[in-house]
Amino acid sequence: MARTDFSGRVALLTGAGGGIGRSLARMLGGLGFELALVGRSEEKLRAAAEYAGRAQRALLLPGDLMERGFLEGVVDRVLERFGRLDALINNAGICFSKPLEETGYGELDAMMKTNVLAPYILCRDAIASLRESDCATIVNIGSVVSHAGYVGQSAYGAAKHALLGMTKALAAEVYQQGIRVHILCPGAVNTGMARIISRPGMDMDALISPEDIADVTEFLLTHRGNAVIDEVRLHRAGKQPF
Ligand SMILES: NC(=O)c1ccc[n+]([C@@H]2O[C@H](COP(=O)([O-])OP(=O)(O)OC[C@H]3O[C@@H](n4cnc5c(N)ncnc54)[C@H](OP(=O)(O)O)[C@@H]3O)[C@@H](O)[C@H]2O)c1
């Protein structure tokens, strides 16, 4: 039986002000979760909280996940405010397209810190609280690039492959503790990021909608049968999975 009411439960969502993040925030608010929203822009977080119907109650945590001091304080701040944590959605991410030969040290560092290190640390810091939850779920937002290698995307691909590997290992580590860990790997989604990815053959008129990502994430949160869904790969019907 699918659970549909998460009143009194708490979800931590990163990248909440972005294209996919706003839809995720709205879906989580609709399920009844209290929200803790992370992103660089406070203004975008406020707009996301409003969009999610949580304008008054959401905890806004504006900050840079690349900064260790901020990153390692996030879960503590959620617990200080709400006293519990039930769902973690690691959605914040960056992407750029550039030949490996031209990729700077700082660019690679930012890619790995945002897309791998931050979700890793948030998972680590969330586990103790999730263990106490009756609906403990982690969803990491990967990409089709978690599996494929595209010209100009060695840095993004390295990061998303790493996120996939980390997710698989963690899912096995904490399954017996009642914590479900998933990765969702979409092809191009209709957000600002898709417009800067520009992979060869990408059809800008046929992108996945952010609401599709929210719908699948909702399914992962609400269905907790014995069939474990560790990974979901999404691409446009009739299209190659890029
Ligand atoms: N769009 C696609 O085609 C696509 C496809 C597959 C997977 N994905 C993945 O989906 C996720 C969301 O992407 P999106 O398309 O919604 O992109 P987006 O609109 O650019 O949103 C990215 C979000 O991440 C936040 N963020 C980035 N760096 C951060 C940092 N250092 N500290 C805190 N927050 C940070 C941004 O904050 P600000 O709002 O403050 O800038 C923004 O809210 C990413 O992990 C991406 O890799 C996207």
The first and second tokens of residue 202, run together, are 């990408």
Contact between 183 and 140 under an 8 Å Cβ cutoff? The reply is yes
Contact between 206 and 239 under an 8 Å Cβ cutoff? The reply is yes
Parts of the chain with a pLDDT under 50: 241-242
CATH number of 10-234: 3.40.50.720
Buried b (16+ CB within 10 A) or exposed e, 95-112: beeeeeeeeeeeebebbb
* pTM score, whole prediction: 0.96
Distance of alpha carbon 129 from the chain centroid: 18
Mutate to test the pocket of ligand 1, among 13, 37, 94 (most ligand atoms within 8 A of CB): 94
The first and second tokens of residue 35, run together, are 């929200």
Verify whether ligand 1 is closer than 6 Å to residue 182 (CB atom).
no
pLDDT in tens, 52-61: 999 999 999 9
Distance 18 CA to ligand 1 centre (A): 6
Containing H/E element for 89? strand 87-90
What distances in angstroms separate CA 28 from CA 111, 182, 200, 211, one per listed residue?
Answer: 27, 16, 34, 12
Catalogue the active-site residues. 156
The first and second tokens of residue 117, run together, are 């290190």
Positions of E strands within 115-234: 137-141, 180-186, 231-234
Contact between 55 and 242 under an 8 Å Cβ cutoff? The reply is no
Ligand 1, atom 41: nearest CA belongs to which residue?
40
Distance 212 CA to ligand 1 centre (A): 16
Containing H/E element for 168? helix 154-174
The predicted structure's pLDDT at residue 228: 73
The predicted structure's pLDDT at residue 242: 47
The predicted structure's pLDDT at residue 3: 86
